[in-house]
Amino acid sequence: MNGSYAPAEREAHGGAGDAAMAVSETSQAVLSVAGVTKAIGNRKIVDGLTFDIYRGEVVGLLGPNGAGKTTTIRMIVGLIEMTSGDVFVQGHSIKKDFVNAIRYIGGIIENPEFYPYMSGYDNLRQYQRMAEGVSIGRIMEVVKLVGLQDAIHKKVRAYSLGMRQRLGIAQALLHSPSILILDEPTNGLDPAGIREMRDYLKKIAKEEGISILVSSHLLSEMELMCSRVVVIQEGKLLTERLIGDHSADNAKEQQVMISLRVNDVGLAQQTAQLHQGIQVLETQPDNGTVTVQLPEEDIPSLIDSLSAARVRVYRVEECKSSLEDEFLKWTGGNRIA
Ligand SMILES: Nc1ncnc2c1ncn2[C@@H]1O[C@H](COP(=O)(O)OP(=O)(O)OP(=O)(O)O)[C@@H](O)[C@H]1O
């Protein structure tokens, strides 16, 4: 999948061009998954999946085991045929224009294979020689991007799993792809390795302006690594969310926790209940808190009413639910990991 990347093409797609090019780069999706379906026998493993990825985004493809993540990724990179739909990479159809589409993808779908008795550098050099249009100078650029400078002349057999994974990413980056596609890259890594992987992927997206699609069933991982998640279940798109944006279900509705004197909790609850459109979700008399859900613009009038009732408000905090809370809600309690 790591095809050549001629300088002229790189200029046209890589970002240094004029203002008009910059506008089209930000508005055109780097990757478009357009109604992709994979049927095996009577069963649709992936069912009409549609989503886009834009320049510089780190997007998580999230779903429980068996949701269809690997199948989706294998179709995106052309490893298996899709039953219907299409995938466009920088506007090139993976079905009709495979060679031009695939050259913009760098990917690790299965564990990357390296010669263990050779150094990381020599493995990359071997690869660079075969890849058309990749300069020798690019090797150290990608090595720096994945933080392997100190170990690059050591034999690969001495590398930890995390280092091998990062060497795999370096290899996938050699031909300067527009999008990096990684299937469960943190699988098998220890917590330190996971953290490193996460930090390097974010850095690569930022410094290279590259988009990254990464699959995982680990919610907590995706929350820390991605700017957006595409959630699938049973092959279908369940939801797409910006990380930190849990507002789509209740436009402008907020959950806030109000801190009060312990003695005022009952009065605050009654006062809040008198307001139309405010729902009291929880009272904690021992902690002196009342949690309510209300439209954001009603917060000042609630505070006014509480003051009028001689309830002193010490703090109003937004209650943020984690992606995991949200996911459990979307899937009706189907836990991912
Ligand atoms: N070649 C195949 N023939 C039949 N069923 C298949 C085939 N490939 C995948 N499946 C089934 O399709 C479903 C989706 O599999 P897939 O590997 O894409 O899911 P996944 O989300 O990547 O899961 P995991 O996290 O477990 O890897 C699973 O139920 C799997 O058993």
For ligand 1, say whether the CB of 67 is within 6 Å of any of its atoms.
Answer: yes
pLDDT band at 330 (very low <50, low <70, confident <90, very high): low
Residues 23 and 118 in one domain: yes
At 59 the pLDDT is: 95
- Distance separating alpha carbons of residues 220 and 334, to the nearest angstrom: 15
At 241 the pLDDT is: 81
Show which of 206, 222, 242 is a domain's final residue: 242
- Ligand 1, atom 12: nearest CA belongs to which residue? 45
Q: Which residues pair with 183 in a beta bridge?
A: 215
For ligand 1, say whether the CB of 70 is within 6 Å of any of its atoms.
Answer: yes
Cα(131) to centroid(ligand 1), Å: 32
Residues 149 and 286 in one domain: no
Q: What is the CATH number of the domain that holds 264?
A: 3.30.70.920
Domain count, the chain: 2
Whether 333 is covered by a domain: the verdict is no
Residues 43 and 179 in one domain: yes
Cβ pair 34, 86 in contact under 8 A: yes
For ligand 1, say whether the CB of 45 is within 6 Å of any of its atoms.
Answer: yes
Residues 237 and 277 in one domain: no
- Distance separating alpha carbons of residues 28 and 23, to the nearest angstrom: 9
State the average pLDDT over residues 89-96: 94
Residues 174 and 315 in one domain: no
- Domain limits for position 307: 253-319
Q: What is the CATH number of the domain that holds 130?
A: 3.40.50.300
Show which of 204, 223, 242 is a domain's final residue: 242
Does pLDDT of 252 surpass 70? no
Question: Ligand 1: which atom is nearest the Cα of residue 217?
Answer: 25
Q: What is the pLDDT of residues 280-305, one digit of tens each?
A: 888 888 889 999 888 888 899 999 99
Whether 332 is covered by a domain: the verdict is no
pLDDT band at 4 (very low <50, low <70, confident <90, very high): very low
Whether 324 is covered by a domain: the verdict is no
Residues 113 and 59 in one domain: yes
Whether 331 is covered by a domain: the verdict is no
Does pLDDT of 167 surpass 80? yes
Whether 116 is covered by a domain: the verdict is yes
Residues 220 and 99 in one domain: yes
For ligand 1, say whether the CB of 68 is within 6 Å of any of its atoms.
Answer: yes
Distances (CA, A) of 204 to 66, 95, 200: 29, 28, 6
pLDDT cut 90: percent of the chain above it: 55
Cβ pair 72, 36 in contact under 8 A: yes
Cα(19) to centroid(ligand 1), Å: 43
Q: Which residues pair with 284 in a beta bridge?
A: 289
State the average pLDDT over residues 306-330: 80
At 312 the pLDDT is: 93
Whether 336 is covered by a domain: the verdict is no
Whether 248 is covered by a domain: the verdict is no
- Distance separating alpha carbons of residues 154 and 156, to the nearest angstrom: 6
Show which of 242, 272, 291 is a domain's final residue: 242
State the average pLDDT over residues 129-141: 90
Mutate to test the pocket of ligand 1, among 71, 187, 335 (most ligand atoms within 8 A of CB): 71
Instruction: Give SS3 for 46.
Output: strand
Residues 55 and 202 in one domain: yes
- Distance separating alpha carbons of residues 73 and 56, to the nearest angstrom: 19
Residues 46 and 101 in one domain: yes
- Ligand 1, atom 8: nearest CA belongs to which residue? 71
Residues 121 and 193 in one domain: yes
Mutate to test the pocket of ligand 1, among 33, 42, 70, 331 (most ligand atoms within 8 A of CB): 70
Whether 58 is covered by a domain: the verdict is yes
Question: Ligand 1: which atom is nearest the Cα of residue 45?
Answer: 12
**pTM reported for the whole predicted model:** 0.72
Question: Ligand 1: which atom is nearest the Cα of residue 74?
Answer: 18
* ipTM of the complex as predicted: 0.96
Residues 154 and 269 in one domain: no
Residues 270 and 152 in one domain: no
